[in-house]
Every structure is written in C-alpha cells, then in structure tokens.
Amino acid sequence: MNNLLNFDAYLFDMDGTLVASEKLKGEALAQTCIVAGGFAKLSDYKSVMGGSWETVRSHFYKVSNIDIPNEKFDEIFRSLYKDLISSKVEITKGAKELITLLKGNNKKMGVVTSATRWMANEILNNINLSKAFDVLITKENVTKHKPEPEAYLLAIEQLKTSAENTLIFEDSSVGIEAGHRAGCKVIGLKHELNSLHNFSGASITINSFDELF
C-alpha cells in the first residue's frame, strides 16, 4: 500500500486483527458451555464473531441449550480464556513490524475493541504491547457498540485528529461498518473465522500485515 504513511493516526481492532485471538475466544466459549453442562463447537462462534459480548453469550446459550446465570458463565469463560491467552495468544503476522514503522514515523495509534478492558489488558500485556498505544477504547467506554461508530469517534477525539486522517484495521462486518460510518478508511483483515463477513466496505483486504510493506 503506497500511501500507508499518509495518515496521522492508526486504529486497530484487537481480536482477530491485532492478535490472532478469535480462535482462542471461540475455544473458550465452547469449553465454557461444556463446563456448564451443554455442548458447543469452535465453529459456532463464526456467525456472531465481532458482535457484542451480550450477543455472543446469548448465541452460545441457545446453541448449547444451557441456562445458567450470566455472571457464572462470564466467570467460567474468564478463567478459561485467560489460560488460553497466557499460553497461546499470538500477534498477527506483520503487526509488530507495522507498529514499529508507525512509531518510527511519529504516528498516533490506538486500539478500539468491543472486548472488556480486562480482556484487552490481558492480551496487550501478553504480547508486550501494553505501552505501544496512545489510546485504548474498550466496551466500558461506550454505550453504543460496533457497528455504531461511537468507539472510533471517541478514539479520534482522544487522539486529537480527524476521521480523514485516520486509518482503521478491522476483521469483522460490524467493525468495518463502524469505521466507515466514522468517516475513516478501513483495511479489512481476513482469517479462518470471518469467512461469513462482508468486506465490501473496506478499501482493501489483506491476510496479514506484512502484505502492506
């Protein structure tokens, strides 16, 4: 991408974009359902990947035919997911090199995720990028989640830049729509769990960040 450095700010979705964590999240969700007395598979995550936590949780309740308090489900999931993150989470190919390039050119950067703050902090700490970004927007910071543009507009405001000068990296239909509605250009990142998603709103699509160099 010849104009990669033509922006002032760069915003990364986290799960499935900055890090290859969607598979781990799907595994943890399926395992949570089994612990709760039901049954679910990793592939059951495909249809709700990128959605709000409430949407994802409700989907797995239906798929696995379980009925436990939300707080209990979240407690089991958190324990399982933290174990998977600590042992298996990996940064997406080329992401660290891109971040180094952007930092070297004094660009502003942020992470904008629909995940909770504990998830974001856990992942960023495990990939040693907790101090790499100027802003971190999580589920707790907004009232309207992707595909609403609120999270991206908040990040743009905090970085003191404009939508026209911001490039977004996303891996889901709702994320791409949110970035587009915020007025930004969006690069779509494809992987094994987002084959059902619509990438028509992205300026270009890639399979890893090293394709940008």
Q: Other C-beta atoms within 10 Å of 89: how many?
A: 19
pLDDT over 70, % of the chain: 99
Chain Cα centroid distance, residue 61: 22
- For the whole model, what pTM was predicted? 0.90
Tens digits of residue pLDDT in 164-195: 999 999 999 999 999 999 999 999 999 988 98
Cα(77)–Cα(71) distance, integer angstroms: 10
- Reduce the DSSP state of residue 166 to 3 states and report it: strand
Instruction: Tell me if 9-21+91-212 shares its fold with 22-88.
Output: no
Q: For residue 31, is pLDDT > 90?
A: yes
Could you tell me which of 133, 164, 174, 137 has the C-alpha nearest to residue 152? 137
The whole-angstrom separation of Cα 142 and Cα 148 is 10
Q: What is the mean pLDDT of residues 152-159?
A: 98
Pick 9-21+91-212's CATH classification: 3.50.50.60, 3.90.1150.10, 3.40.50.300, 3.40.50.1000: 3.40.50.1000
pLDDT tier, 2 (very low <50, low <70, confident <90, very high otherwise) = low
Residue bearing tokens 């999580």: 138
Residue type, 73: F
Class of domain 22-88: mainly alpha
Q: What is the DSSP letter of 163?
A: G
* Separation between Cα atoms, residue 54 and residue 81, nearest integer Å: 17
Token pair belonging to 72: 């209990």
Work out the average pLDDT over 120-128: 93
pLDDT, average across residues 98-120: 95
Q: What is the pLDDT of residue 195?
A: 87
**Taking 80 as the threshold, does the pLDDT of residue 102 lie above it?**
yes
The 8-class DSSP code of residue 184 comes to: -
Domain ranges within the chain, ordered by starting residue: 9-21+91-212, 22-88
Rounded mean pLDDT, 9-35: 95
Whole-number mean pLDDT of the chain? 94
pLDDT tier at 50 (50, 70, 90 boundaries)? confident
Give the pLDDT of residue 107.
97
Residue 52: per-residue pLDDT: 84
